[in-house]
Structures are given as structure tokens and as C-alpha cells.
């Protein structure tokens, strides 16, 4: 594999992993740790939940873009495997 492409894939993979960790963190904290609705008396926890929801949603959107880039960069490999297994000509 050409060095430039390997570096691109590595960068896309590292960024995807960081985004995945952010998604797991913000998703699980909001689900399992932070109180909901009237349980969250006081502004701070409500703001924190809203901040994590926004972060989760934007990280999710960017994650989808990076996974698409990952698939595009691997496309020749995916295509050759689909050909080898007879799924496409
Ligand atoms: C492409 C990736 C992802 C997208 C687009 C996405 C999107 C969303 C959205 C839109 C919500 C609802 C937020 C709201 O209340 O408005 C949500 C909730 C949640 N997500 Fe994700 N998510 C992604 C990945 C993940 C991952 C990797 C985890 C791993 C743990 C995760 C865990 C959760 C959990 C636990 C909730 C519920 C939070 C709560 O109870 O309030 N998500 N996600």
C-alpha cells in the first residue's frame, strides 16, 4: 500500500476511535449516571446532560462521515474480495 494512503487510513482510524470513545462516554454517562427530568434539581446537571447530548449527536455525525471515509479508502480491497467470492463480477 502506498505510504500516503497508509497514513490517511491510520489518521482516519485514530480519529474514528477517539470519536467512538466520546460516543461511548457521553452516551453511557447520560443513560446511566446523570439524573433525568425533575430528579436533576439545579441547573448544572441539566446543562451537563444537554451538553453531553449535543456532543453525542455531533460526534455521531462526524463518526458517520469518518466511517464512510474508512470504507472509501478500503474500497479496492472490499471490491476485490467481493469479486473473489463471486458476489460481483
Ligand atoms: C454513529 C453513532 C451514533 C449516533 C448517530 C448516535 C445518536 C444518538 C442519539 C441521536 C441519541 C438520542 C440523544 C437525545 O436524547 O437527544 C443517542 C442516545 C444514546 N446513545 Fe448514541 N449514537 C451513536 C453511537 C453511540 C455509541 C457508540 C454508544 C455506545 C455506548 C451510544 C450510546 C447511547 C446511549 C446509551 C444513549 C441514551 C442516552 C440517554 O439515555 O439519554 N451511542 N445516540
CB 70 within 8 A of CB 12: yes
Contacts with 75 (C-beta within 8 Å, 6 or more apart), sequence order: none
HEC assignment per residue over the chain: CCHHHHHHHHHHHHHHHHHHHHHHHHHHHHHHHCCCHHHCCCHHHHHHHHHHHHHHHHHHHHHHHHHHHHHHHCHHHHHHHHHHCCCCC
Note if the pTM is more than 0.75: yes
Q: How confident is the model at residue 89 (pLDDT cuts 50, 70, 90)?
A: confident
- Nearest residue by C-alpha to atom 28 in ligand 1: 24
17 Cβ closer than 6 Å to some ligand 1 atom: no
pLDDT digits (tens, 9 = 90+) for 35-76: 988 777 778 888 999 999 999 999 999 999 999 999 999 999
pLDDT digits (tens, 9 = 90+) for 14-33: 999 999 999 999 999 999 99
Give me the mean pLDDT over the 2-12 stretch.
Answer: 92
48 Cβ closer than 6 Å to some ligand 1 atom: no
Amino acid at each position: 500500500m502506498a505510504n500516503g494512503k497508509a497514513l490517511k487510513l491510520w489518521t482516519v482510524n485514530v480519529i474514528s476511535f477517539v470519536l467512538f470513545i466520546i460516543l461511548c462516554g457521553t452516551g453511557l454517562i447520560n443513560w446511566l449516571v446523570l439524573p433525568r427530568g425533575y430528579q436533576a434539581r439545579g441547573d448544572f446537571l441539566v446543562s451537563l446532560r444537554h451538553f453531553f447530548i449535543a456532543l453525542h449527536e455531533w460526534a455521531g455525525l462526524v463518526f458517520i462521515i469518518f466511517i464512510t471515509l474508512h470504507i472509501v479508502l478500503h474500497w479496492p480491497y472490499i471490491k476485490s474480495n467481493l469479486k473473489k467470492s463471486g458476489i460481483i463480477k
